[in-house]
Structure formats: structure tokens, C-alpha cells
Structure 1
Amino acid sequence: MKRYYEDAKENVQHKVNTSLRMFINRLHADFPAHWHTDIEIIWPREAPYKVICGNQTYYVEVDDILLICPTVLHEIFSLSPGTRVYIQADFSGIGAIKEIDKAFHLMAPALHIKKKSCPPDVYNYLCSQMNKIMELYFGSTPPIYTHEKEVDESVISYTKLADYDELEIYSILMQLIAFCGKNIHLFRESSSSSSGLSLKNSLPLSNVCNYIAEHFSEDLSLESVASFAGFSKYHFERIFSDYTGVTFYQYLQQIRINYATTLLSNPELSVTDISYQSGFASCTAFTRAFKKSTGYPPSKFRVLNEEQHPLSANPHFADRKLRHTVV
């Protein structure tokens, strides 16, 4: 079967009748700053990447795994030719599960799983999950490693998934996200006491994260949330920072900004409307905090939405229109 396409805008092109996209990228190309509402997982198999997410830079070596949270502005640099695995999945329809958002808040802007420092049993489990997804998506595991003459040929599947395969893939992704959320300390390079956080404190703090996720648009204070958790202000401030890796106010502000980025994908909402819906006291405060977090004011950030303003770096991201098919 041979297919002919005409050029069209670049977009997050999901597999037919699904909210998923996966492909084996063998192109030596950079991707300019962009964002989308999908979770994105990058798994370099033959060549590293440099990835900038928000204000953080990740050097993703061969066999590392980088999980980029939804609505995070990111830029990707190809340091050398080689194969990388990509998975993208839209989780916007699973918002009723509050712990999904909690996991993303803990991982934000991205979770870098380094093969050299990850416990082998944990790393092997994550790789097995990725391979399961590949087998379901492509029908069988596609060849990862390439000969030199094939280095520019990416592997993309345009066919439909078998019945319930999308559900199974989402199930695997949710297991993977839950596992990473529960074991977040394994992936953090930190000498802080977060890795030794007692089980006695972890449950109340998990409940606190759920509480913040439900009330972030309200006027929350450190004192009121500490009281909700049943700790003194100063003890809560310390253990919350150990648990999340950031201060309470940094965590609260990032939740508000993450929510705002989701709203920015809706062109019918003004920046002022979004600022108040996200819990900021004024549009000025929102713009200042948003620019500090992302490097862009909200209006400019909105322009970088891949769904509305397509990229141009990689033709395999193109949302091509099928003109006709020759069998």
C-alpha cells in the first residue's frame, strides 16, 4: 500500500480513533519551544537529547527515560543522530482522578529517570512497561536499532488499534505514573531527608496535596493548610518541602500556573479571566508569576501551543491530509 499526502499544519497527531501517539524517531532534528496537553515520554535508545522544560535543563542520555508533564513548555535538541522512542497520550479526560494531577505536580516539569542511578529492578520494570505499550501500539515490537542507511527512516503507525488496546495502553501508562508517584524519591538526586520521610507523615502530606489540588483557586495560606494537616506551621513547612521538593508557596503557585496553562489552550478565555480562575489576586500578579515560571508572558505562551500553532522542525509531527491511497 502506498500513500500520498499533501502538506498541512503540524499538530499532535494521535493514532486513528485514539488519544495516543507513539513513534520511533530517527531524524536528527531539533524541536522549538512548544507545549501541548498530552503527557510526553521520551526514551533515547541510540543517541542523547538535551531537553529544556520550563526553566530546567535535562541531559537525557541513551536509555534514560524523560516524562514531560502536560502543558509544560519544552524545547528539544538533538545532539547526534540516533533512534528515540516517543509516547504521547492525552490525559485531559481523566481529570476526575485527582491523584493523576497530584503525580504530575510532584514530577513537574519533568521526571528524569537515569539508568545509571535508578535501581536495576525499578528500571527494568519501567522498560518492560514501555515495551508492552510498543507491542500493543505497533502490533509487534518494531526494530529500535538501525543500520546507518536507515537512520533517517522513522517508524510511524497509521493503522487502528485492536479492540481495547487503547484502554490497555492507558492502563499501563496509569500504572507507570502511579509507580513513579509512589517512588518519586528514587528518581531525585538529592541528599535531603525526602528519601527518609516517615510513613507517619507521608499519608497526611498526600492528603494535603489532594486538598491543595481541590482548593488552589481559593485564598490558601501556609498556616491554614498546616492546620488542616495537623502539624505546626514550622514542622509542616519542613516536611512538606522534603515531600514535594519545593516550598508550600512554590507548590501552590505551580499548581495555579499549571491550571492556567490548560486554560490558555481555550482561545475564548481572556488572560484576565484565566488569572482569576487560577487563584491569582490580580492579572498583574499572574503575569509576573507566569513569566518567572515559564520564561514567557501568558499571551506569548498561548502562541506556542502546538495544537493551535504547529511546529516546523520535524515532518513526522505533521497532521497530513490523506489525498488518496494506492493499493
Structure 2
Amino acid sequence: MMNMTSYYDFSGQKFGYPLSLSINSFDRHIFSRQNSLELSYVLQGEYQIVTEKFTSKLSKGELVMIAPGDIHLISHKKDGVILTIHIDFDRMTTAMSGNSNEAFSTMIVTNQAYDQLKNKISGILKLIRQENYNLYTLNAYMMDILSIASRVSFSMSSLPLQDEAHKNYMQAILYIDSHYNENLTLGDVADTLSFSLSYTSKLFKKFTGITFIKYLNSVRIRASLEDLLEGIKNISEISDECGMPNSKAYTEAFKEIYGISPSNYRKRFKKNFAPTVEKEMKLHDFDSILEDFINEEETVYEDEKCKITLNAEHIKLETEEEIKISNKGKRIQIVL
């Protein structure tokens, strides 16, 4: 079961929009791979990011970027709360998205790009807090994020060194990701990768904290969600296509993960209710842990000569000296 009683979800999927934003404390045990750019910012606690290239701890205030198509797992250690943005390229035309699979890199974001991306995320949070926000402004923030993220340089030398167990574990994860819908057993994975059965079993317990069969079932359930929410196929067809032995096994595994049956999950989604038993909150309910974002200054203009920022209290112009200008509602002209 997911272990959070409340969360926030701005889901673009519900109205065909590319951008989604969520705040939650769900503890993940399975790897994800999607055709979207993901930005995850730790609001509270400590997380671990596991990818093909690296494994690293994520502390409060750190930001990780996951490139489209990269398999990854972000799980929290204790009392974790994370803010995640997805920009889904499947909901864009090719002319808009470009070659998204080559444009981005998976990394922990630092330096200037960190400040710029955090600034844009802050702008989105402030915007969607409004009852009637401007969709074109939201589009601008989304495209700014893509522009900044596509320019972030990536250095292999900055990656932490990985041990042999991590490499072997990722081989097993990638094999499951490609063959989960087949009649797959732990022995199949071990034989294919030339590992012993006991060693393969220990890999899963060490890195995921759950058994191989629970991990495999979770991967299958995750892969079935799009078909389930689409509502065209019946449960038997969905369970067969995702590799479950039958609809009963599918339903039992689904209830173990989400707390409700797949049919009820589908019904709640269609009625625009939260599809799980966790309580969906308003964005304002998270103000205490969003304080850094709420108070973040928004950069409205920047070049080599000056930087103009805006927050709830003032407009600030930074050149050689800092100037604060109040009464932001008035028209102000600045000539350099």
C-alpha cells in the first residue's frame, strides 16, 4: 500500500494537457519509464534516486531531472514529501516537442540551471493557486522549463561510482522492463543474466525491499493503468496483456497496491474523483512546505546588464547596486 493519507495532483492527463504537477509522499518500489521530462524536487525528508547511470541520495532542496525514456526509481527514506512535474511529449505535436529523446539528460541539477528551474516551478505554483489562471502563461512556463532543461550540460565525471551489485541489479530491472508481459519467473531472469537464483533474489530484497514476484506484479499493474483508465478493454483483457496469469490474480495484486479494485479505480477516475483511497488536498494545504517556492522571486527580465525580479512585496532591479521599487501596480519605465 502507498503510505500517504494526503496529496495534491494537478493532472494534465484529465484534459489533454502536457504538464502535470503533484505533491505526495508515496513510497515507490518499482521503476518507471515514460515519454516525458520529469523534474522532482525534495520538499521534505530524504529520497534515493536510482537510474541506469547512477544511484544517489536526494536531500531537502535538491532537484533531479529525468530524461524521457530513462528508467528510474525515486523512493523516500523517511517522512519524505516530493514535488514532481511531468511534461508529456506524447501530448505535443512533433513540431512542438522536437527530438525529445535526445534533448535532455538525467542528472541532479545544480548551479544556474537549478536556480532557473526552481524559479519557473515557483511561477507555476503561484499561477495554479489562482482560481482562473491564464493558460497561455502556464504554456510559457512549461516551454521555459523545456528550454532551460535542454541546455543543461551533463558531465559523466560528476556521477558517483557504482558497485558491481548495482550494475547487476539494473541488468535485472531492464530485463523485467522488457519482458514483464511474458510468463516470467525469477529463474528466467537469473538464467538470462547468468546469475544464481539465490543471488538474484537477494538483489531484489536489497535494492527494492520487496520480493521478485511483488516487484513483477507492480510493474505489470503500472503498465496496465493507461488501458484501465481508457475504459475500452475489460479487466480480463487488461490482465492478459500485462502478463498476469488471470483476472483474479490481477485484481488481488491491484488491491494490494492501491487499496481498491481495478473496476472501482476506473469508476472513480471517470467521475473525476481521486482514484485511490488517499485524501486529495488543495495546493494551499501544502503552504508550510512550499514556503521556499511561495516566497521565491520570479525573474521577469535578465540580460548581461541587469536582472529584474518580482515577488509579492516588490519589484527589484539588480545592476551594480540593488534598487527596490514599491507600488508595483504602477507603470514603471527603466532606462539603462
TM-score, normalised relative to structure 1: 0.49
Larger Rg: 2
Higher relative contact order (CA 8 A, sep 6+): 1
State the TM-score, normalizing by the size of structure 2: 0.47
